[in-house]
Amino acid sequence: MTQIIDGKFVASQIRNSLKEEAENLLKLTGKKPGLAAILVGDNSASKIYVNSKSKACNEVGFYSVVKIMESNTNEEELLKVIETFNSDDGIDGILVQLPLPKQIDEDKIIEAISPNKDVDGFHPVSFGKLVIGKETFYPCTPFGIIELLKYYKINTKGKHVVVVGRSNIVGKPIANMLVQKKDGANAIVTICHTAAPDIAFYTKQADILIAAVGKANMITKDMVKDGVVIIDVGINRIDDVNSAKGYKVVGDVDFENIKEKTSFITPVPGGVGPMTIAMLLINTLKSFKQKMNLK
């Protein structure tokens, strides 16, 4: 029988725990964990993401600040803002909402964030530590996937995990996290991408399939085996005449037609998405505790 992985519920449990810990830390230290979010431009989806992160901070008792900059902001101006937050003792985490306008080098911006405040887990120092298995800030979406697998007691040891997608945000980090020799990982990992002549050849072998390509309903019923665990990271808008908005949000997996073939599956929305923000909060709290020399 298929079990739906309820990321919204798990994330709410995490937020409740974080709120309690933040209250205790405020009594102990007189301070709150602080998160700074920087948005360049007026991309509507990016605005929603940034506002949801700020709202989540407020809900758990963190301090948050949102810096909105014009779309014609140049690289030097953005670097100055990052340096200001790097030097601000009240800020424990810095995130720059991606994508950035074309005139700004994303790699240069990511590398400008202090590794001690890299709560997105994108800095080369953070990623390097992840690859060699050292403690670090994990990228939030892969971190959320790991926590969902743990919460639902889905065994990964010796299992064949197939990751469809090779982005620096999801595909590469989740593959590296799951291959580590530790609890909640220790898997055999295959990464698939557009160079594969037949992706289905690999996806049919998956005990756990992680889809992160950004292509609506790409993974179909005939591409997986019975009993597979599916983690769908995709968020795609498709036209829907029956919706008041004129569209609906779907994942990379054909959920309705594939779900009965699975043992566990994440829905879209309500699966991985809420966990991403919850992990951002966990990373921010971790940074705060490191600064305060607290365990």
Residues 200-241: pLDDT tens digits? Answer: 999 999 999 999 999 999 999 999 999 999 999 999 989 888
Question: 137 or 248, which is more confident?
Answer: 137
CATH number at residue 184: 3.40.50.720
3-state secondary structure of 38: strand
125 in a domain, yes or no?
no
Give pairs for 50-58: CB < 8 Å, separation 24+: 50/97, 52/277, 53/95, 53/277, 53/280, 56/15, 56/277, 56/278, 56/280, 56/281, 57/281, 57/284
Q: Residue 231: beta bridge partners? A: 210
Query: If you average pLDDT over residues 237-264, what whole number do you get?
Result: 92
Last residue of a domain, which of 116, 148, 173? 116
Q: Which residues contact 146 (CB under 8 A, 6 or more apart)?
A: 138, 174, 177, 178, 184, 185
Q: Is the peptide bond before 197 cis (omega within 30 degrees of 0)?
A: no
Q: How many CB atoms lie within 10 A of CB 86?
A: 15
**176 and 262 co-located in one domain:** yes
216: closest CA among 245, 257, 269, 254?
Answer: 254
pLDDT tens digits for range 95-141: 999 999 999 999 999 999 999 999 999 999 999 999 999 999 999 99
Residues 146 and 263 in one domain: yes
Q: Residue 33 gets which letter from DSSP?
A: -
171 has pLDDT over 90: yes
Residue 19 domain-assigned (yes or no): no
Number of domain units in the chain: 2
The pLDDT assigned to 223 comes to: 98
> Is residue 186 very low, low, confident or very high in pLDDT (cuts 50, 70, 90)?
very high
Q: Is residue 175 part of a domain?
A: yes
Residue in this structure with the two tokens 């340096």, named with its chain if needed: 83
- Cα–Cα distances in angstroms (integers) from residue 250 to residues 142, 209, 233, 235, in the given order: 19, 17, 10, 6
In a domain, 231, yes or no: yes
Confidence band, pLDDT 50/70/90 cuts, at residue 48: confident
Same domain, 163 and 227: yes
Residue 20 located in a structural domain = no
Give SS3 for 292.
coil
pLDDT (mean) for 29-50:
92
Are 226 and 261 spatial neighbours (Cβ–Cβ below 8 Å)?
yes
Question: pTM for the complete prediction?
Answer: 0.96
Over residues 171-176, mean pLDDT? 98
Mean pLDDT value of segment 144-163: 98
Residue, of 42 and 206, whose pLDDT is higher: 206
Structural domain includes residue 281: no
Q: Which domain holds residue 259?
A: 140-272
Q: What is the pLDDT of residue 206?
A: 98
| CB 61, CB 72: distance < 8 Å | no
Is residue 191 a part of any domain in this protein? Answer: yes
Same domain, yes or no: 107 and 193: no
Give domain status of residue 8, yes or no.
no
245 — pLDDT class (breaks 50, 70, 90):
confident
Instruction: Enumerate the active-site residues.
Output: 53, 97, 120
Among 231, 236, 185, 235, smallest CA distance to 211 is for 231
User: For position 104, what pLDDT does the model report?
Assistant: 97
What pLDDT score was predicted for residue 10?
98
